[in-house]
Amino acid sequence: MIGLWKTLQRMSNNGIMKRLIIFLAPIILPYIIIAQTNTVKFATEANEINGFTIMDSDYNFISFFSSKHPDSLLFSRYLYKFNNAGDTLFSRQFFKVDTVVGISNIVQCNANPIEYFMYAKCYVNGDDPRNMFSIFYKIDAGFNIIWEKVYHLRPGILSSSDIYPNILQKKDGGFVFATNLGANFHLVLFEMSSMGDSMNYRYYQGDSAGMYLSDFIYNFDSTAYLALTIDAHPDGSLRTAQAISIDTDLNQTHVYYFPKYFDDIIVAKVAPSGNYIAGGGYFETTYPQGESSMAVYKLDTGFNLLGNCFVGDPDFDIRKDPGYVSMDFYDPNSIFVAGTFDFDIGIWINHPSWIVIGKVDSNMNLLTEKYIGGDAYYRFNTITATNDGGIFIGASRYDYLTQDHEHDAYYYRFDSIEMTVAIDERSEESILQNAIVYPNPASERFFIRTSYMGSEMILFNQNGEQVLNQKITSLITEIESINLPLGVYIWMIVLEGKQIESGKLIITN
C-alpha cells in the first residue's frame, strides 16, 4: 500500500495524482455499493434560483425555477417537471404582457386527469412593485392554463414580497390560501371554491398574525386548520413558535405552543399515528449569537413533546446558522431534514458551505447525516421525500472564485441516503458525502464530522505513510494537528474495512 502511495506522490509532480486519486483509492480499501444519483445542473450565465417543489401522484416532481440573464433587470419564471429518476420532462415559462409574474406555490388538485392549482404574486411592469396582486391558476399535466383568477388580497399594505405563501386543498373541495403578504404581523386567509371563486376572507394583524407564517396544514383529525407562526399570541415565556387553530369559517379558536427554543421556519406534517412531526430551527440561550441547530420534533395532538432529534448539534466552528431549514417524509420511519452549514446572509458569499441532510426515524433517532458541497457556497432551497425512500433536493451553488455574480441552480435526486457512495464511482465533484473535514486548510486542529460511529479516520502524508489513526465515537471529532509538519495529507474514513470517504487536507501555519 505504501508503495502505491509513493507512486501517486511521484505522479503529483505532473498533476496526475489529483486526477487519478479519486479512481485509484478503492484499490487500497474495499468499497460498498453506490446509491443511485441524478443531478440536474443548469449552470448557465444567468443568475438562477429554484424553489418550491412537490411530488405528484405519478411520482413526478414539479418545481419552480427563476432565471435572470445579465442584460435583464427581471427574472423569468418557469415551472419544471422532472420524472421520478430526476430527468427533465418539460418546462413552461409563465408570463403576462405588462405584468411581472412570480409563481411561488403549487398543489396537485386532481388525480384523474392530473391537474394543479398554483399561486403567483404579481405587479404591473413599471408600477411600484409593492402594489402587488394575486393570480391563481388551474393548470393541466402539461402546464396549460385551464383558468386563472385575479384577486387583490392586500389590505392596504405596500410590500414587494410575501413570506412562505401556503395553499391547502380542502377535504370537501376548494382551497384555503394563507400568507403574511410580505408584512410582519399581517396574516391573510382566503377561501376559494374548486373553481377559484371567493368564498371567505379573514385578515389578522398584530399578535393575532405573528411575525410570519411558515406552514398551513390540517390538524390531526382534519376538523380544523393549523397556522404555524412565530411570535403570535405571546405568553411571556420562551415558547416563540405557535400553531394557531383555525375553524372552517377561518376564525381563530385556540393557540398551541411549540416547546421553547424551537422556532424559525417550522414545517409540520401529521404522521399516520396522529402525532405531529415538525422540523425547524432550534436556538438555545447558551448558543452564540445568531447560531442555531436543525431539529425534528415529535408532538402529540396537544403539542406535548414526545421526542426530538438535533441534526448538526452543535458545531459552531463550521456553522454560523443553518439558514432555511425544511423537513419532509413519505414514510414516518424515514424523516428527512435539511439546511445549510455555514449559512450566511447576503447574495455573493465568499466562503464555502455545505448542505446537510439528516435522516431520522419515528423514534427520533438520527440514522445518518450526509453532506453536499464544501467546494463553493451552497444554499439549500427545498426538499421533497419520495416514494422509494429517497429525496429530491433543490439548491443553488455560487463559486466565489470563478463566477461573476451569478448562482447556478442544482437539483439532486437520491433514491437512498443509507447506501454509501463508493469512491471509484465518483468524480472529483463529489455529490453526496459521508464525512467532511474542516477547517481546510487547518493549523492547530481540525474536525471530522460523520454519522458513522465506530469508523476510523486514517491520515497519510505525501509519502503514503500513515501518520494518524483516530477512532470515531461521536458526530464531531476534534483532532490536534499542531505537531504535524506543514503539507498536503490524504484522509480516509474506514468502517469495517470499507472505505466510505476520503479527501485532501492541507496543514498550514
* 454 exposure class (CB count in 10 Å sphere: 0-12, 13-18, 19+): exposed
CATH code, 477: 2.60.40.10
- Domain span at residue 479 reads 2-32+438-507
16-28 vs 2-11: helix crossing angle, rounded to 10: 170
Residue 21 lies in a domain: yes
Cα 1 versus chain centre, distance = 40
Q: Within this chain, do residues 14 and 120 fall inside the same structural domain, yes or no?
A: no
Residue 7, C-beta contacts closer than 8 angstroms, at least 6 positions apart? none
Task: Please tell me the pTM assigned to this model.
Answer: 0.82
Q: Please check the confidence at residue 5 and state whether its pLDDT lies above 60.
A: no
State yes or no: pLDDT of 353 exceeds 80.
Answer: yes
Could you give the CA distance from residue 505 to residue 509 in angstroms, rounded to a whole number? 13
Instruction: Report the alpha-carbon distance of residue 243 to residue 389 in Å, rounded.
Output: 29
DSSP state letter for 474: S
Q: Are 216 and 195 in contact (CB under 8 A)?
A: no
pLDDT higher than 50, residue 29:
no
Residues 102 and 24 in one domain: no
Residue 227 lies in a domain: yes
Same domain, 147 and 252: yes
Report whether pLDDT(285) > 90.
Answer: no
Would residue 419 count as lying in a domain?
A: no
Any idea what DSSP says for residue 225? E
Q: What pLDDT was estimated at residue 183?
A: 64
DSSP-assigned beta bridge partners for residue 120: 103, 135
Return the CATH number at 211: 2.115.10.20
Q: Do the domain assignments include residue 372? A: no
SS3 content of the chain, % helix, strand, coil (to 5): 5, 50, 45
151 and 15 co-located in one domain? no
pLDDT of residue 159: 73
The one-letter amino acid code at 358 reads: G
What confidence tens digit (pLDDT) does each residue in 206-216 have?
A: 999 998 899 99
CA 151 to chain centre: 31
Check whether 487 has a pLDDT greater than 50.
Answer: yes
What is the per-residue pLDDT across 52-109, written as a single tens digit (0 to 9) for each? 899 999 999 999 988 887 777 778 889 999 998 888 899 999 888 888 888 889 999 9
Tell me, yes or no, whether 339 lies in a domain: no
- Extract the C-alpha cell encoding 376: 463553493
Q: Is the pLDDT of residue 11 over 50?
A: no
Residue 375 lies in a domain: no
Angle at 182 between CA 175 and CA 124, to 5 degrees: 85
Spatial contact of 5 and 25, defined as CB atoms under 8 Å apart: no
DSSP 506: E
Query: SS3 of 203, please?
Result: strand
How many C-alpha atoms does 16 have within 13 Å on its Cβ side?
Answer: 10
Identify the top-confidence range among 30-34, 185-189, 272-276, 344-348: 272-276
Shared domain for 160 and 28, answered yes or no, is no
Same domain membership, residue 215 and residue 102:
yes
Residue 272 CA to residue 269 CA, distance in Å, equals: 10
Q: Which of 207, 233, 257 is the last residue of a domain?
A: 257
Residues 107, 247, single domain; the answer is: yes
Distance in angstroms (rounded) separating the CA atoms of residues 263 and 10: 53
144 and 221 belong to one structural domain: yes
Distances 98 to 92, 132, 379, 423 between C-alpha atoms, Å: 18, 14, 32, 52
460 band by pLDDT with thresholds 50, 70 and 90: very high
pLDDT at 18 over 90: no
CA angle 49, 55, 60 (to 5 degrees): 90
Is residue 355 within 8 Å of residue 26, measured between CB atoms? no
Reported as a pLDDT band with limits 50, 70 and 90, residue 420 is: very low
SS (H, E, C) 116-145: EEEEEEEEECCCCCCCCEEEEEEEECCCCE
Looking at the structure, do residues 136 and 252 belong to the same domain, yes or no? yes
- In this structure, the answer to whether residues 7 and 109 fall within a common structural domain is no
Of the candidates 230, 257, 284, which is a domain's last residue? 257
In a domain, 305, yes or no: no
Residue 290: the pLDDT is 62
What does the buried/exposed string (b/e) look like for 194-233 if buried means 16 or more CB atoms within 10 Å of the residue's CB?
A: eebeeeeebbbeeebbbebbbbbbbbbeeebbbbbbbbbb
Q: What is the pLDDT of residue 34?
A: 38
Query: How much is the mean pLDDT over the chain?
Result: 83
Residues 137 and 13 in one domain: no
pLDDT of residue 91: 94
Write down which residue in 257, 285, 312 finishes a domain: 257
**Most confidently predicted of 71-80, 349-358, 421-430, 488-497:** 488-497
| pLDDT top residue among 251 and 419 | 251
pLDDT at residue 334, as a whole number? 94
Residues 23 and 101 in one domain: no
- Average the pLDDT over each of 83-92, 326-335, 377-386, 418-427 and give the range with the smallest value: 418-427
Per-residue pLDDT at 17: 38
CA triple 248-250-252, angle to 5 deg? 110
Task: Please name the amino acid found at residue 141.
Answer: A
| Total domain count, the chain | 2
- Find where cell 404591473 sits: 124
**In this predicted structure, what is the pLDDT of residue 417?**
62
* Rg for the chain, CA atoms, rounded: 24
Residue 210 is assigned to a structural domain of this protein: yes
- The CB density around residue 27, as the number of other CB atoms within 10 Å, is 12
